[in-house]
Structure 1
Amino acid sequence: MAFGIKRDELVKWKQDIDKGKIAFLTHYWVDERFSQMKTVTKVGALNINQLYKWGSQYGLKKEWIHIRKDGYSHYDLIGHTQIEILEAEGLTEHIKRFDLN
């Protein structure tokens, strides 16, 4: 279950993907499988190969991509990997906003 994001943030994430960009969306998240995690960053792209190429620089595997029929396929980043990638991408506002340190 996702929460802690505004509708316009979700709309912008989808618009960026539609424009061919790699897009980032961080939000609070509850999932019994990962009960110790409180946030997730969804990194999406329209082109799966573009997304995989981006992810491979961080050691992410192609099979980890959540492929969606609606065109908003994405990686789900959690934990230490989430923080490392947000820092590397210069997205420190995500880290501050969701108190990830």
Structure 2
Amino acid sequence: MAFGITRKELLEWKAKIDQGEIAFLTHYWIDERFPNCKTVTKVGCNDITKLINWGKQYDLKPEWIDQRQNGYSHFDLLGQKQIDILKKEGLTSHIWA
């Protein structure tokens, strides 16, 4: 279950994806499969090749992309990998306690 983002933030993320940019959206999240993770960062792009190439620099596998019919395919970043990538991307504002 996702929470902690506004509709405006979601629409901005989608707009960046629609423009072919690599877009980041972090929100609070609860999932029984990942009891130690309280947030997730979705990294999306409508250009799957661009998204795959972006992910390669962080050892993210193409099969980890959540393929969406609506064009908002994305990687889900969790845990320490999420923190490490956000720091490398200069997005420390996306790191929440």
Give TM-score scaled by structure 1 length. Answer: 0.94
- 1:42-99 CA-to-partner distances (Å, cap 9, x unmatched) read 000001111000000000000000000000000000000000000000001111xx22
Name 1:75's counterpart in structure 2: 75
Name 1:93's counterpart in structure 2: 93
Q: Distance in 2 between matches of 1:3 and 1:38?
A: 10
Unmatched segments (≥5 aa) in structure 1: none
Q: Distance in 2 between matches of 1:73 and 1:12?
A: 15
Give TM-score scaled by structure 2 length. Answer: 0.98
Q: Distance in 2 between matches of 1:74 and 1:35?
A: 21
Report the CA distance between 1:35 and its aligned residue. 1.2
How many residues are matched? Answer: 97
Structure 1 segments (4+ residues) deviating >2 Å: none
* Residue identity (%): 63
Report the CA distance between 1:9 and its aligned residue. 0.3
Q: Distance in 1 between matches of 2:31 and 2:47?
A: 27
